[in-house]
Amino acid sequence: LKMGRVFFNTRKNIVDVAAAKTLIASDSGSVFNINQASAYEITLPLSTTIEKGWNATFVIGTAAANAVTIANHTDEDKIIGGVAGHDGNASTASESAVDEIVFISGAVVGDTCDVLYNGTNFIVTGLAGDAAHITVS
Q: What is the pTM of this model?
A: 0.89
CA pair distance 118, 54, nearest whole angstrom = 8
pLDDT tens digit string along 42-72? 999 999 999 999 999 999 999 999 999 999 9
pLDDT tens digit string along 69-91? 999 988 889 999 988 888 777 67
